[in-house]
Chains A and B, each alone.
Chain A
């Protein structure tokens, strides 16, 4: 009877062990050494020579390259350390246990015996090659792309006997900024937008021969050159277009725009791509790239503020495209309108896992019969947003709700009521509706509403008092001895909601400051900085906001990397001791800001 059936079975079910006979697996299992490592333990550091190959029996290992970029996670059954042993070189990656892990170690001699089996050797080598390609960051070394891969369409050409006007017409029709001129099969010239500018400036007739306006014998590039060569040629010759040749045959053209577009995950590209989509499915596909974009920005060490601004800007472009599409389908709007974002998108503070909050301000000449149009518009956009990954707002703060789709005057009355007769519902609404930003349509409708609110709010002391009290209700998740207060049960047991307990209270404090002093800023950072000019103490709060925002994005980024749906619940135990300490500090800053509000607004005397 095999003493190690449990171990042999585990290995036999996995590659590369499954390539061996049961007897061989059993013999190798005899040589494994069990080890237990705590979460946070570095098992093998980049630059160190491995003393063993490890199999992850349980737990999880995080793989980070020498620059600190997260490369991958190894889960149950994965092997690591073997490549360095086989090639007798130091490890390129740092392997850290991110959960308490049980590892089986195999000595270098055992590994060398293992790879004496050709199938095993091939498995390890191929896995490593797959790794090498996987480790190229999104859009990675874009300048190594062959020119042939950049050419997206057959070359648009015109014969040398055509007129300037004919060439311009073909360019216009094909929506291109340059056209190639041929004689027989040979490329003889190029006519660009810049040449046409000269034609117009010198009052040359459109019926004049093309050959007089074009650049003769243009610079060209071989189809097997790299994007890097394209960049160098364009810069060197101060041009924007390069014909691509296969020997003497013309195969296409690359432009400076194509080079920029190579940077596939750049935020500019995502926004540009959204503008080019004609259907919701296409928009959803582009939006699916956003989580990866966040991961990339985190690796580039962008701040939480910058990342959320880019995410917000992308969402904004999506909304704008959807509203254009809605209008194309429904026809022109019967009266002017302004589509506004509420909440985090309005503040330019969107992270991943956001729902949708929006409203419609209509011009005051809107008639009841016009509502059908705007209702259809709201339904169209809301449904499309769901398809693009933004769930409907649970509190129904959406333009599909007739309460939040009305003329400017009605909005002004609504806000006046909230400010003058604060009810708990008004206070609740304020956290959404006082963070508002125009996205599409007539922005003056928004400005009119905002100015009125900012004029009235500073005098509404009862309302501000209620707001301050409400901001104080949010419980910061630290308890006695500064331990974290985590969820006691349910799906998120042992985790804390970093948004509800940390980020939202800061947002609330900043909003109260904005209303108290009538500040037009909508972003939390903008509001706090402006409040500082009125004497508010905001330095620590700004830091805490950035830290909590960054921690949340990092958490969501690694969730995305693991293929999970991002959310706001963080297990403090998964953070480093350093980050845990900072998290506690950030939470106590939030708690202090809350009690400072109590003093400022004397909340204890209200209700």
Chain B
């Protein structure tokens, strides 16, 4: 089973991204993280030393989400992690409303048409929107990348309200 070992978040207010809201923290899942740690250049020791407990992590995420909608690329992953963690820790099933940039991107490219397999990936869609490529690969860069893509897609699809974004994604 995969574990969440780092969380990156940034706010989107309307169609603006206050960069100061960008946050990044590590999570200690309580088990050795093995291979995936290498990818993220994190070690068990680091996670042990600095990582939040899963409970703390959930509190921080839901604290930020209060009054907001979750925005993610291929949001099923995030929603799955969050719902599973809530279920595990508190034994309840929750619904998390989301805006998914993958869905918006698919709509912008045209639903009916054939697209190359990777056309809907975050980085590919960003290139099409003229957004810069980022060198770093950590959770907060991914969050920022997704937020910027959302601004671009909102323009492309003439979105004016969040409700539209939820319906169309």
- Are A35 and B24 in contact, CB atoms less than 8 angstroms apart? no
A3-B23, A3-B24, A4-B22 known; A58-B16 Cβ under 8 A = no
Identify which of residues 37-72 in chain A touch chain B, using a CB-to-CB cut-off of 8 Å. Answer: 37-38, 57-59
> A37 vs B151: C-alpha distance in the bound complex, in angstroms?
9
- Are A58 and B23 in contact, CB atoms less than 8 angstroms apart? no
Residues of A within 8 A of B61 (CB): none
Identify which of residues 32-90 in chain B touch chain A, using a CB-to-CB cut-off of 8 Å. Answer: none
Instruction: Let me know if A32 is at the binding interface, CB within 8 A.
Output: yes
- Are B17 and A3 in contact, CB atoms less than 8 angstroms apart? no
Least CB distance, B69 to chain A, in whole angstroms: 18
**Interface SS of A by simple majority:** mixed
Instruction: Let me know if B112 is at the binding interface, CB within 8 A.
Output: no
Instruction: Let me know if B110 is at the binding interface, CB within 8 A.
Output: no
A6-B136, A36-B148, A36-B152 known; A99-B20 Cβ under 8 A = no
- Are B132 and A34 in contact, CB atoms less than 8 angstroms apart? no
Stretch among A100-108, A292-300, A320-328, A520-528 lining the B interface: A100-108
Instruction: Let me know if B144 is at the binding interface, CB within 8 A.
Output: yes
Size of interface on A: residues with Cβ below 8 Å to B: 26
Instruction: Let me know if B18 is at the binding interface, CB within 8 A.
Output: yes
Contact with A4, one of B15, B19, B129, B156 (Cβ below 8 angstroms): B19
Nearest neighbor of A101 in chain B, beta-carbon distance: B130
Least CB distance, A193 to chain B, in whole angstroms: 63
> A365 vs B143: C-alpha distance in the bound complex, in angstroms?
82
Least CB distance, A10 to chain B, in whole angstroms: 8
Contact with A33, one of B19, B132, B136 (Cβ below 8 angstroms): B19
> A67 vs B131: C-alpha distance in the bound complex, in angstroms?
31
Instruction: Let me know if B27 is at the binding interface, CB within 8 A.
Output: no
> A76 vs B20: C-alpha distance in the bound complex, in angstroms?
21
Contact with B19, one of A32, A37, A38, A99 (Cβ below 8 angstroms): A32
Residues of A within 8 A of B131 (CB): 36, 58, 102
Instruction: Let me know if A29 is at the binding interface, CB within 8 A.
Output: yes
- Are B148 and A102 in contact, CB atoms less than 8 angstroms apart? yes
Instruction: Let me know if A5 is at the binding interface, CB within 8 A.
Output: yes
- Are A30 and B20 in contact, CB atoms less than 8 angstroms apart? yes
Least CB distance, A154 to chain B, in whole angstroms: 58
- Are A34 and B130 in contact, CB atoms less than 8 angstroms apart? no
- Are A38 and B24 in contact, CB atoms less than 8 angstroms apart? no
CB-based closest 7 A-B pairs: A34-B17, A36-B151, A30-B20, A100-B130, A58-B132, A32-B19, A3-B22
User: Which of A's residues lie within 8 Å of B, judged by CB?
Assistant: 1, 3-7, 29-38, 57-59, 76, 99-102, 104-105
Cross-chain pairs A/B with CB under 8 angstroms, 13 sampled? A3-B140, A4-B19, A6-B135, A6-B136, A34-B17, A34-B148, A36-B152, A57-B132, A59-B130, A100-B152, A100-B155, A102-B131, A102-B148
